Amino acid sequence: MRISGLLSFAAVALLASGCGVFGSSPAPTVSLSDTGATEGLVPRPTDEPPVTPAPREEGPTIDGSSHNLTAWSSPSGNTVCAAFRESATAPFEIRCDVLEHVWKLPPKPANCEFDWGRGTFLNTKAGITCVSDSLIGKDAVGTESTWWNGQPGAQVMTLPGRKAVTLAYGASMTFGPLTCSSQLDGMHCTNSTNKAGFDISRTEYTLR
């Protein structure tokens, strides 16, 4: 069954699994395990002091497990994420796009026909996306995917080109075993079943 409201997403081929076209849902295609790389940290100059990790904020958790599509933005507006599934019985997948970033990517895989490295994805494993669409706008106020607007942890902010529903720092979204937490140092998403996940921001990403 197709998810209503997803027709604006471009169809994306599941290159990593060789499963053909996923459909109109936003979907990553290439796992980073295909490249052997595990992180994208941009090295800091040796004369700069080490960065102190940002304190972890604690806030409300919003359960989106009963919705087939949920989208949100970071308060900065630079990271846009979506959690989606094809049907009520299908597993969830989370994808986050970063609009501007300075991290280094491994070489584009030969089987990636689309845009390599816009962000990261998480299902039973985490990886870098190879996609032909964008999540920008799915976080806009009044769209089906921002059904959670008005709940504790939701913030409406005016961002370039849109008024978006953002996930406040410290707040989390959960979708079955998948959870994403919005923090000052980026978006952190984890699969509680096997501890796979990713941490992503403008300056770096890490796959777990």
Q: Nearest 5 degrees, angle CA 25-CA 171-CA 163?
A: 60
What pLDDT shows up at residue 28? 39
Beta-sheet strands, E only, within 103-185: 115-122, 126-131, 154-159, 162-167, 172-175, 178-183
Of 161, 82, 164, nearest to 129 (Cα)? 82
Query: 11: helix, coil or strand?
Result: coil
Q: Summarize the confidence of residues 142-158 as an average pLDDT.
A: 97
What pLDDT shows up at residue 160? 86
What pLDDT shows up at residue 191? 98
What pLDDT shows up at residue 26? 55
Interval 87-122: pLDDT, tens: 999 999 999 999 999 999 999 999 999 999 999 999
Of 75, 108, 102, nearest to 202 (Cα)? 102
Buried b (16+ CB within 10 A) or exposed e, 146-156: bebbeeebbbe
Interval 11-68: pLDDT, tens: 333 333 333 322 345 543 433 333 333 344 333 344 444 444 556 768 899 999 999 9
Looking at per-residue confidence, does 23 or 184 come out higher? Answer: 184
What pLDDT shows up at residue 60? 96
What pLDDT shows up at residue 58? 82
pLDDT greater than 50 at residue 9: no
What pLDDT shows up at residue 91? 96
pLDDT level of residue 206 (50, 70, 90 thresholds): very high
pLDDT greater than 70 at residue 3: no
